[in-house]
Amino acid sequence: MPLSERAYLNHLRSACLEIARDLAQAAPEEFDQGGALRNSILYSLIVIGEAVNQLPLDLLARYPEIPWRSIVDLRKVLTHRYFAIDPLLVRQTADVHVPRLLSQVEIMLAEGSGMD
């Protein structure tokens, strides 16, 4: 049985919170050194991209301020072209874009209209 839209949004929310927690608990240079912190953030970004990919287009269209296609495209790079990952892009995504996405997902969950 497929997950509901709300369930995918909750997965999105959890992955965003995981990234925020990881960044808050680590020294800035830890990310640059690779290892567990970077891998955890990369995995959470993959979860975010896959959850977005599972959401219906009509739901995403109601929130055009979020670059949904870019989120899915990033997941594809992280999973299929991992050798081309730009650590600076990943860090900027984690620091800047994930908090914005989290705010929007919180709004979407609160509104809840039209979700199954």
Catalytic residue among 11, 80, 91, 100: 80
Instruction: For residues 71 and 12, give the distance between their C-alpha atoms in angstroms, rounded to a whole number.
Output: 11
Residue 80 designated active-site = yes
- The dihedral sign for the CA sequence 48, 41, 80, 3: negative
The answer to whether the Cα torsion of 74, 77, 78, 83 is positive or negative is negative
- The whole-angstrom separation of Cα 80 and Cα 39 is 15
Residue 107 CA to residue 17 CA, distance in Å, equals 15
Per annotation, catalytic residue among 21, 75, 91, 100: 75
Catalytic-residue membership of 75: yes
Residues with catalytic roles: 75, 80
